[in-house]
C-alpha cells in the first residue's frame, strides 16, 4: 500500500520537477500575453502516469492546461494561439463561433508518433491539450468506435 502511495506521489510531483517542456513554454507564453493564471488541476500527474502505462487509444502522453476567465477576447484567441505555437506545428482545423467559442487543432510528427495540440476557448475557459499518440492505434480505435448513424 505504501509502495502504491509512493508511486502515486511520485507521479504527481515528478512532472513539476522536470525541466520546462515546449508545452510548458507555450502555456507560460499564453499566460504572459493574456495576463491569465493557469488553474491547478489536482492529481493530474496520476492521470498522466496511468496514460503513460496503459496507452488508451494509442495515447502515450497527455498534457493539459486550463485558464479560467482568460483575459483574451474570443476572436483574438486564435491569433494569440497561432503566434505562440511554433516549431513545425501545422494547423489543420479551426472552428470559430460568434458566441465566442474557438477550437484550433495543430499537429506535428515526432518519429513514429504524432503530436496533437488542441487549443480551445468557450467564453469562460481557455484549454490547451497536447497528446502524443500512435496514429495506427488511434485510427483503429476511431474505426472501432465510429458512430453507426450519421
Residues that bind another protein (CB under 8 A): 75, 90-99, 107, 109, 114, 135-136, 139, 142-143, 146, 148, 150
Min dist CB 11 to another protein, Å, is: 29
- Nearer to another protein among residue 2 and residue 146 (C-beta): 146
> How many Cβ atoms from other residues are within 10 Å of residue 80's Cβ?
19
Closer residue to another protein in complex, CB, 22/101: 101
Cell 493530474 belongs to residue? 44
Considering the complex, state which of residue 65 and residue 116 has its C-beta at the smaller distance from another protein: 116
Nearest approach, Cβ of residue 18 and another protein (Å): 27
The answer to whether 131 and 116 have CB atoms below 8 angstroms apart is: yes
Query: What DSSP state is assigned to residue 56?
Result: G
Min dist. Cβ of residue 132 to another protein (A): 13
Nearest Cα to Cα of residue 66 among 38, 28, 45, 88: 38
Cα(125)–Cα(122) distance, integer angstroms? 6
68 vs 136, beta carbon nearer another protein: 136
The C-alpha cell that represents 93 in the structure block: 482545423
Q: Which is nearer to another protein, 10 or 142 (CB)?
A: 142
Least distance from another protein to the Cβ atom of residue 109, Å: 5
Query: Could you give the 3-state DSSP secondary structure of residue 21?
Result: coil
Q: Cα–Cα distance between 118 and 89 in angstroms, integer? A: 11
Q: Considering the complex, what minimum distance in angstroms separates the CB of residue 129 from another protein?
A: 19
Amino acid at each position: 500500500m505504501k509502495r502504491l502511495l509512493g508511486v502515486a506521489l511520485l507521479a504527481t510531483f515528478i512532472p513539476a520537477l522536470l525541466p520546462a517542456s515546449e508545452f510548458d513554454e507555450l502555456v507560460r507564453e499564453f499566460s504572459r500575453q493574456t495576463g491569465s493564471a493557469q488553474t491547478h488541476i489536482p492529481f493530474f500527474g496520476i492521470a498522466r502516469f496511468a496514460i503513460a502505462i496503459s496507452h488508451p487509444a494509442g495515447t502515450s502522453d497527455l498534457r493539459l492546461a486550463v485558464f479560467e476567465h482568460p483575459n483574451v477576447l474570443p476572436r483574438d484567441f486564435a491569433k494569440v494561439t497561432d503566434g505562440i505555437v511554433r516549431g513545425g506545428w501545422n494547423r489543420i482545423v479551426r472552428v470559430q463561433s460568434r458566441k465566442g467559442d474557438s477550437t484550433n487543432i495543430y499537429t506535428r510528427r515526432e518519429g513514429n508518433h504524432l503530436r496533437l495540440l488542441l487549443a480551445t476557448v468557450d467564453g469562460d475557459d481557455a484549454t490547451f491539450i497536447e497528446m502524443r499518440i500512435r496514429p495506427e492505434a488511434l485510427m483503429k480505435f476511431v474505426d472501432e468506435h465510429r458512430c453507426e448513424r450519421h
